[in-house]
Structure 1
Amino acid sequence: MILTLTANPSIDRTVVLDSELVRGGVYRARASVSDPGGKGVNVARVLTSSGVQAMAVLPAAPTDPLLSALTTKGVRYCAVPTSGQARTNITISEPGGTTTKINEPGASLTVATREELFDAVLDLGRDAAWVVLSGSLPPGIPTDWYASIVQALRDTPSKVAVDTSDAPLLALAASFPESAPDLVKPNSEELAQLTGANAEELERAAAAGDPTATVTACRILLDRGVGAVLATLGSAGAVLVSNEGAWFATPPRIQALSTVGAGDSSLAGYILADIERCSGADKLRRAVAYGTAATALPGTTLPTPEQAHPESVTVRALDSPHTSSPIPPTSSPTRSSTHS
């Protein structure tokens, strides 16, 4: 089983426009859709659609529409009761793939709810192959909460992945190596927050085929105890760095419709490959394939295995003397069977 924690879940509402958004304008939406969201929920949705047992841990009132939406999607969940309703996040999608997001802060959690969430993650996480801690923290939760959970899970067999930003990310890093997880999944801006690199320069260099600066930044985190770093760089691709090596993947050209959920899909793709004991190159390949598939889908739609095409992703080993030679896939992933 894969366990995901979403402390600040949401209903993600996407509005699709036929023209570019101009401040102060009036528009008629071409389409709109609502889905259960939050980064951990998104990871659980992708894993579930791939046939892998996943459970989303989250705070939610028993009557919250978020829970019925998860049931409709077939996602198993453990809901810690709370009085507040899940926030609504709005995404405005323009032609060409430009998206504007408006995220609510979320309902404040009491100390009792926070402690119950913590206990639920530890209890269920002991039997999980991976525990994924994703997204922002709502009011009422201290910024070092993820760091505390990572430290508490150290005595369990489960691997831990963290995908967050801003204050919770910096608080996590402040406690390295004690709070260093098995995997962190920063984008370029988050990697810059952690290492002092320049996010624009990282993406620009990678787009030109030179991910050296990104690899250097990732290795700073490895030196501080992190097991592996999956750094997503938008349309430039992604880098994976671990103690086993470093790889750079470039995606195929696509028509981008929405970037919502792309990073979460990448993380899910990595985990799918990891539980199948794939090589580092193929973990990165699957991550980029799922992230690319999400970008090619409208709104908050998340990819299925049939929509992800790892064979179309080019991967190079950066620690190899033949760095210009792409690594062919070692397997052709199909729809995953159920894993416990």
Structure 2
Amino acid sequence: MIVTLTAHPAMDRAIRLDAPLQPGEVQAATGEREDAGGKGINVARAVAAAGASTVAVLPLAQDDPFDAALRATGVPALRVPVAGRARTNLTITDPAGTTTKINLPGASLAPGETAALIAAVVDATAEARWLVLAGSLPPGVGDDFYVEVVQAVRAAHGASAPLVAVDTSGPALRAVVDRATPDLIKPNDEELAELAGGGLGGPDLNAAVLAVARTVVPDRARAALVTLGARGAILVTADGAWIGAAPRIRVASTVGAGDSSLAGYLLAESEGAAPPERLARAIRYGAAAASLAGTQAPRPMDLPTADVPISAID
């Protein structure tokens, strides 16, 4: 069982253009689609598409139109009633795959709603292998919200508590790394640099990523899966580090690709795969998601069949 928490869900609306975006001009779109999104929901959708067990926990008002889109995914969900409505994220993609995103703010969570959301996660993770804390935080909660969730889950379940994966950024990521020691973090290179308080200097990006990741792993996080977009990804654990190159694909939308990478990693880990295979699966899932329009969850049949070379790095 892989349980995900999406505290800041969003209706993802994707618009395709037949030419590069021209600010200030009127342009015709060639198509659009809407998907129930938010990083944790995206992870749960990919896990469910692989036939694995999952539950997506989220705050959701009973009359929110987002619920219809969520039900259409078929993903089992635990809805915590709240007063506000899910936000909308707008993505504009041109023929070259260049993506422009506009993310609207979500509704604020009241203290009682926040407490109910944490309690729901505790209940849902009673027999889970992984808990995924993913996405930005909504207004009304502190930067340490994910820390509170981890502490509540571990206090309730003790030695049987699930492993914890975190995919967020900024102060929320820094707080959970400093105070909760997650089992896995999944930043991209920019988020990793922000966590370290500086840039990734030097001509060798891979060496810079590894050096910064080693300041976090294994003392403040047990492992780090650092996604690098078209350049692939790097996995750093206490036992070693590996790099994998991404297969060549035709990019349709990069939205949700990192979420799918995380899903691929967790699926492989849950099957007992060794770290290099976990990394390869993560890269395949990320590439598959980037080849699909909108925020679609890749299915096993969507994964690229091209070789994903994995190398150990020092």
Q: Is the 8 A contact 2:280 2:308 kept in 1?
A: yes
**In the alignment, what sits opposite 1:87?**
87
**In the alignment, what sits opposite 1:158?**
162
Supply the AA of the counterpart residue of 2:142. Answer: P
**In the alignment, what sits opposite 1:327?**
none
Q: Classify the secondary structure of the residue corresponding to 1:78.
A: strand
Q: Percent identity?
A: 47
Range that drifts further, 217-226 or 54-63? 217-226
**In the alignment, what sits opposite 2:173?**
169
Q: Distance in 1 between matches of 2:182 and 2:194?
A: 17
Q: Distance in 2 between matches of 1:205 and 1:253?
A: 21
Q: Distance in 1 between matches of 2:306 and 2:98?
A: 27
Given candidates 232, 238, 248, the residue that maps to 1:237 is 232
- Taking structure 2 as the reference length, the TM-score comes to 0.95
Q: Is the 8 A contact 1:56 1:77 kept in 2?
A: yes
Q: Is the 8 A contact 2:118 2:152 kept in 1?
A: no
Supply the AA of the counterpart residue of 2:138. Answer: P
1:182 matched to 2:183 = yes
Q: Distance in 2 between matches of 1:98 and 1:63?
A: 35
Q: Classify the secondary structure of the residue corresponding to 1:222.
A: coil
Supply the AA of the counterpart residue of 2:211. Answer: T
User: How is 1:85-164 mapped onto 2 (pairs within 5 angstroms)?
Assistant: 85-154=85-154, 155=158, 156-164=160-168
Residues 163-187 of structure 1 show CA distances to partners (whole Å, capped at 9, x for unaligned) of 0012211222332xxx010000000
Supply the AA of the counterpart residue of 1:161. Answer: A
Residues 287-317 of structure 1 show CA distances to partners (whole Å, capped at 9, x for unaligned) of 0000011111122222111111365211101
Tell me how far 1:223 sits from its aligned partner.
Answer: 4.3
Q: Distance in 2 between matches of 1:299 and 1:123?
A: 32
Cα-Cα RMSD: 1.5
User: How is 1:177-216 mapped onto 2 (pairs within 5 angstroms)?
Assistant: 179-199=180-200, 201=201, 205-206=204-205, 211-216=206-211
**In the alignment, what sits opposite 1:221?**
216
Q: Distance in 2 between matches of 1:189 and 1:173?
A: 16
Q: Is the 8 A contact 1:288 1:310 kept in 2?
A: no
Cα distance change on mapping 1:262 and 1:107 into 2, 3 Å = same
Between the two proteins, the alignment pairs up a number of residues equal to: 310
**In the alignment, what sits opposite 1:33?**
33
**In the alignment, what sits opposite 2:255?**
260
1:300 matched to 2:295 = yes
Cα distance change on mapping 1:8 and 1:250 into 2, 3 Å = same
Unmatched 5+ residue regions in structure 1? 320-340
Q: Is the 8 A contact 1:285 1:310 kept in 2?
A: no
Q: Classify the secondary structure of the residue corresponding to 2:23.
A: coil
Tell me how far 1:136 sits from its aligned partner.
Answer: 0.5
Q: Is the 8 A contact 1:13 1:91 kept in 2?
A: yes
Supply the AA of the counterpart residue of 2:307. Answer: S
Q: Distance in 1 between matches of 2:264 and 2:216?
A: 22
Q: Is the 8 A contact 2:255 2:290 kept in 1?
A: yes
Residues 255-279 of structure 1 show CA distances to partners (whole Å, capped at 9, x for unaligned) of 2221100000000000010000001
**In the alignment, what sits opposite 1:324?**
none
Residues 140-177 of structure 1 show CA distances to partners (whole Å, capped at 9, x for unaligned) of 111101112122333243100000012211222332xx
Supply the AA of the counterpart residue of 1:173. Answer: V
Supply the AA of the counterpart residue of 1:152. Answer: A
Q: Classify the secondary structure of the residue corresponding to 1:220.
A: coil
Q: Classify the secondary structure of the residue corresponding to 1:221.
A: coil
**In the alignment, what sits opposite 1:325?**
none
Q: Distance in 2 between matches of 1:310 and 1:54?
A: 26
Runs of 4+ more than 6 Å apart: none
- Taking structure 1 as the reference length, the TM-score comes to 0.88
Q: Is the 8 A contact 2:57 2:120 kept in 1?
A: yes
Unmatched 5+ residue regions in structure 2? none
**In the alignment, what sits opposite 2:267?**
272
